[in-house]
Structure 1
Amino acid sequence: MRQRKRILFVINPISGGKKKTAFNKQVLEVLDLEKFDPTFKITDHPNHAFELGKEAIVEGYDAVVAVGGDGTINELGSAILGTGMPLGIIPEGSGNGLALYLGIPLNESAAIRRINRFESVEVDTGAINGRYFFNIAGLGFDASVSDHFAAENVRGPIGYLRSVVNVISKFNPSRYKLIIDGKTYEKEAFMISVANSPQYGNNAYIAPQASITDGVLDVCVVHQFPLYLLPKMIFHLFTKSADQSEYVEIIPGKEITIIRDDNGPVHVDGEPVDMGGRLDITIKPRSLKVIC
């Protein structure tokens, strides 16, 4: 009898505001147990998924699966980066940006069936001041929203929308110096997103032409716009036409430095992180295997 592949499912119990009490049972019903031997662990503190990923390498697992949102994916992916161990995704977050881009179903059973195929693709990884990201990192408005959302007691899209409303009325643009592949730009911006994949999540596309396998990051500079144009800006996001807005400028690059006057939050795959005034950003091509 052939040896079954050992898979560790790392479950974030609060991601997306969804209960996951029946998840283990679902896996045992849908996963091909002749091929795979599943183990389940639940995160209970920040960075726990990263710790469990490191343990999975030592313990000889054949794959790890993030059961959560982009933050859980980020922690697990960062832990196994460069090891050749594949990362599976069961999308259970508020936005699920990376899963949507990769075509991983939002339905639990369908996502588990993808793992049965055990097919993977090698994707690029971004790094910002040494912190890895797989989807999008950003500063300015969206980082302030992520910071506010992290303190929200309501998860999911409703909580995120509440954070947007609370932040946008009092947010002011900042000045930035950008050095992208040796060329210098001076910009005043409402926000800057550095996109590895095209969308934040929920099919909101900030960088419609971005690809997670092209070895390039898309620097999306969103300039200040009149508040009455917010519905139009949102329309651009959800129709994959942000790059057609006069207020959006997209510059591709591999070696990126952003210099700002103040320290403050930067979101890394949606999770707020305090960083300094200088942000050094690079890309590691085809550095993570993702089951899809």
Structure 2
Amino acid sequence: MTVQPISLLIAAVVVVAAFAVLGVLVVRYRRRLAELDPEPVQDDRTRRAAVIINPTKFDDLDAVREQVTKVCRAQGWAEPLFLETTEDDHGAGQAKQALDEGVDLVCPLGGDGTVREVASAMVHTGVPLGLLPGGTGNLLARNLELPLDSVDDALTVALRGVDQAIDVGIVEFDSSGEDEGPDSRVFLVMAGLGFDAQMMAGTPEKLKARFGWLAYAVSGARHITGPRAKARIVADDQSEFTRRVRTVLVGNCGTLTGGIRLIPDAEVDDGWLDVVTLSPKGVVSWASVAARVLTRRGHHRVERIRCRTLEVRVDRPTEAQLDGDVVGQVRALRARVDPGALLIRLPANRGRG
């Protein structure tokens, strides 16, 4: 009669020991799995964005701040860090300050010039850029098909979207043409010299504020009959060739205001620069060239080049521009592509990874 309790006790000890051994094995197995495929580190802190505002673009900055803060909080983000551009610093310094403070996202709120200046401080940092519309052209946002008419919609994409690596163009403008102290800058859309820069230089800010991108058409009509320049062009390691050009455009992407696809093959993440030279002689020739560009057909006065490096030297000082901002007169332009150098936030259903 005493055997049964002893048997039960032994059986219980055996079961407990078995479970203990099994527990040790499970712990070891989980550790081994963690070594092979570690779980992502959980970050419980609230994410924070920096919003870099060009104050000249808005009449009521307090209302803009309140609007942006409301969207951030609705998406579960902390109150944003607001920084304003100044006459001496158009966005690069503010972007560096934001990065130093450890923000998770930087959003320029201004025109293409503000976007370019902010982006120049963010290449190869791994921190994404969220585009908010605040300018006349908003060309990069237009090429990426991001919201153009609503800061709320654009900010929602920036806060909830996915990161996409895009190319950045690096350009040097040389006013002397003798390689003396060239000015190196970043561009995201297009750099160029000739008619396009003259058109932009001749468009007053007040006219742009009132009529938007249509203001450029008025200035363009005044400069359409200007002289052509003799340009010596070298693309990559090819032989130099000469053209009489009215304008040379180096594109990281190809869509202008009004949806005009000036450089149809240009893609913002293909690792290439796409160059177009226009050589019309007069008004009639311009009309023919414009018609062919709009219909995406070829024309003997339109030449396209795909390259990773480009050098252009002209025989006279020629107006230059960078993402729509006037640079001044130059005698030489050198450009190269920096593939995948910048992270941009795109809608989650459009990220290409």
Q: TM-score, normalised by structure 2?
A: 0.75
Cα distance between partner residues in 2 of 1:279 and 1:291: 30
Distance 1:37 1:166, change over 3 A: same
Cα distance between partner residues in 2 of 1:236 and 1:93: 29
Cα distance between partner residues in 2 of 1:203 and 1:19: 28
Residue 109 (structure 1) aligns with = 152
Residue number among 157, 174, 183 corresponding to 2:229 in the alignment? 174
Distance 1:225 1:263, change over 3 A: closer
How big is each residue's C-alpha offset from its partner over 1:94-153, in whole Å with a ceiling of 9 and x where there is no partner? 11211011111112221111022141210101111121101100101001112223x443
Cα distance between partner residues in 2 of 1:110 and 1:268: 27
Cα distance between partner residues in 1 of 2:345 and 2:44: 21
Deviation at 1:10, TM superposition (A): 1.0
Distance 1:82 1:14, change over 3 A: same
- Any stretches of 5+ residues in structure 2 without a counterpart? 1-42, 173-183, 347-353
Structure whose residues are more often helix by fraction: 2
Deviation at 1:78, TM superposition (A): 0.5
Residue number among 120, 135, 138 corresponding to 2:189 in the alignment? 135
Root-mean-square deviation (CA), in Å?
2.1
Please tell me whether residue 193 in structure 1 is matched to residue 234 in structure 2. Answer: no
Please tell me whether residue 212 in structure 1 is matched to residue 268 in structure 2. Answer: yes
Cα distance between partner residues in 2 of 1:77 and 1:236: 34
Cα distance between partner residues in 1 of 2:233 and 2:143: 27
Please tell me whether residue 63 in structure 1 is matched to residue 105 in structure 2. Answer: yes
Kept after mapping to 2: 8 A contact 1:69/1:93: yes
Residue number among 187, 206, 216 corresponding to 1:160 in the alignment? 216
- 1:76-155 correspondence runs (5 A): 76-106=118-148, 107-129=150-172, 130-149=184-203, 151-155=204-208
Residue number among 25, 50, 69 corresponding to 1:28 in the alignment? 69
- 1:46-57 correspondence runs (5 A): 46-57=88-99
- Any stretches of 5+ residues in structure 1 without a counterpart? none
Which shows bigger deviation, 24-33 or 178-187? Answer: 24-33
Aligned to 1:5, the other structure's residue is in SS state: coil
Distance 1:20 1:162, change over 3 A: farther
Match of 1:218, as an amino acid? D
Kept after mapping to 1: 8 A contact 2:224/2:282: no
Deviation at 1:215, TM superposition (A): 0.7
Match of 2:167, as an amino acid? D
Kept after mapping to 1: 8 A contact 2:213/2:257: no
Aligned to 1:175, the other structure's residue is in SS state: strand
Which shows bigger deviation, 119-128 or 267-276? Answer: 267-276
How big is each residue's C-alpha offset from its partner over 1:34-83, in whole Å with a ceiling of 9 and x where there is no partner? 23431222223153211111211222222210112211110000011111
Kept after mapping to 2: 8 A contact 1:203/1:238: no
Kept after mapping to 2: 8 A contact 1:254/1:282: yes
Deviation at 1:237, TM superposition (A): 4.7
Cα distance between partner residues in 1 of 2:88 and 2:198: 19
Kept after mapping to 2: 8 A contact 1:177/1:185: yes
Deviation at 1:188, TM superposition (A): 0.7
Kept after mapping to 1: 8 A contact 2:197/2:319: yes
Match of 1:173, as an amino acid? R
Residue number among 315, 319, 326 corresponding to 1:261 in the alignment? 315
Kept after mapping to 2: 8 A contact 1:97/1:202: no
- RCO (CA 8 Å, sep 6+): is it higher in 1 or 2? 1
Structure whose residues are more often strand by fraction: 1
Higher Cα radius of gyration: 2
Kept after mapping to 2: 8 A contact 1:225/1:247: no
Kept after mapping to 2: 8 A contact 1:97/1:203: no
Distance 1:76 1:20, change over 3 A: farther
Cα distance between partner residues in 2 of 1:259 and 1:79: 28
Distance 1:231 1:266, change over 3 A: same
Aligned length: 286
Residue number among 312, 332, 336 corresponding to 1:282 in the alignment? 336
Residue 10 (structure 1) aligns with = 52
